[in-house]
Amino acid sequence: MRLDRLRLRGFRNYRELDADFVPGVNLILGDNAQGKTNLLEAICYLSTGRAFRTRKEAELLRFGADFADLEGEIFSQGREQTLRAVLFAGKRPRQLYLNGVKEKSFGKLQGLLTTVLFCPEDLLVLKSGAAARRRLLDSALCQLRPGYDRALTEYNRLLEQKSAILRQWKEYPAWADALPEFNLRMAQVGAVLIGYRANYLVKLDRCTARYHREFSGGAEDLRLSYKTVSTIDNPLAPRQELEQRILEHQEAHLRAELESGQCLTGPHKDDFDVVLDEISLKAFGSQGQTRTAAISLKLAEREIFRDDTGEEPVLLLDDVLSELDARRQDFVLNQIKTGQVFITCCETDRLTEIGAVTIIQNGKKIQAPLVPPV
């Protein structure tokens, strides 16, 4: 799987970009604030139908522009294909095209260009709040499982509505009558999310542990374990059982929810624990250990994508290499010998030798890619 060409019109700080890429390592170089991350964001958008830095699509349009047009020529499922998204200012919905044919939703485009993104915030993901770790699970599962994507969208909508009821039921007591219905549906959809997450974490745990062992020269043992609604003792249990356990948890917390005005129960509170040699990484891990573990986690994500889809996902490394010391850089670079990779970076240094270079300056490409070294 690879992206051969990207065409942008009116996207972020790009008025117009036409760029070709090589199947191996593509280095995107440029000073700060020139548009390197914006370029990766465009690739991600064509891959997932979402922007990773914002929920507001309007922010993706170049300031003052009426529309943004993104087109990627990709090689996927054994043939060349074209993905295109046109976003409009105001309320007009986006238009999506697959191979020139208009599609109603992102469904048909989903999975054609899978990407694994690794950015500096990901290096801290094991130290930060649970939301960052949920995002990591969500972004992987939304790409791998269309059913998960649909369930998550519905769950988030229900959560928003239930939260609004809980916030305001004292003013409008009749609203509280709708809570049982919300709870039931949230238990049903929540059970779907938990099932997918539990299965994914089994694979992620196994694979991350292997990378981490290799990385630490066999010295450290890293384990991930899923933490979800406390009444669920086996998150791999059948869906109906999960649903039942969520309903029990909701019932036990109903009063607390009404009193606090917040939705306290459900998989929107999920997390996973990371244990290094039987000690919590979050509480006690050193900075180096946390980074190493985060790298292992990302490499594991890439491997799971490859096993699952049969194709190597495109790896997007936004500024991470410059955050790593030489030993960790080497570990990452040694692991990415296969597949297509986009690496953004400010310094040229030794990195320029590893791939074709695209230089970005103020939303423009100023030099055609060099031929990569053999």
Q: What is the contact surface with Mg ion in residues (CB under 5 A)?
A: 36-37
- Measure the CA–CA gap between 254 and 264, rounded to whole angstroms: 9
- Determine, following the binding rule CB under 6 A, whether residue 365 of this chain makes contact with ligand ATP: no
Q: How far is the CB of 344 from ligand ATP (least distance, A)?
A: 6
Shorter beta-carbon distance to ligand ATP: residue 138 or 319 = 319
Shorter beta-carbon distance to Mg ion: residue 156 or 361 = 361
**Residue window 268-307: x/- pattern of binding to ligand ATP, with contact defined by CB under 6 A:** ----------------------------------------
Shorter beta-carbon distance to ligand ATP: residue 270 or 319 = 319
- Determine, following the binding rule CB under 6 A, whether residue 316 of this chain makes contact with ligand ATP: no
**Residue window 326-355: x/- pattern of binding to ligand ATP, with contact defined by CB under 6 A:** --------------------x---------
Among 36, 134, 212, 245, binds ligand ATP (CB under 6 A): 36
Shorter beta-carbon distance to Mg ion: residue 124 or 264 = 124
Q: Which stretch binds ligand ATP (CB under 6 A): 29-37, 140-148, 180-188, 299-307?
A: 29-37
Q: Which stretch binds ligand ATP (CB under 6 A): 34-42, 175-183, 273-281, 303-311?
A: 34-42
Q: How far is the CB of 361 from ligand ATP (least distance, A)?
A: 9
Q: How far is the CB of 336 from ligand ATP (least distance, A)?
A: 20
- Determine, following the binding rule CB under 6 A, whether residue 358 of this chain makes contact with ligand ATP: no
Q: Which stretch binds ligand ATP (CB under 6 A): 61-69, 226-234, 261-269, 321-329?
A: 61-69
- Measure the CA–CA gap between 115 and 121, rounded to whole angstroms: 17
- Measure the CA–CA gap between 176 and 168, rounded to whole angstroms: 9
- Determine, following the binding rule CB under 6 A, whether residue 37 of this chain makes contact with ligand ATP: yes
Among 35, 285, 339, 369, binds ligand ATP (CB under 6 A): 35
Q: Which partner, ligand ATP, Mg ion, none, binds residue 13 by CB below 5 to 8 Å per kind?
A: ligand ATP
Residue ranges binding ligand ATP (CB under 6 A): 12-13, 30, 32-38, 59, 61-63, 319, 346
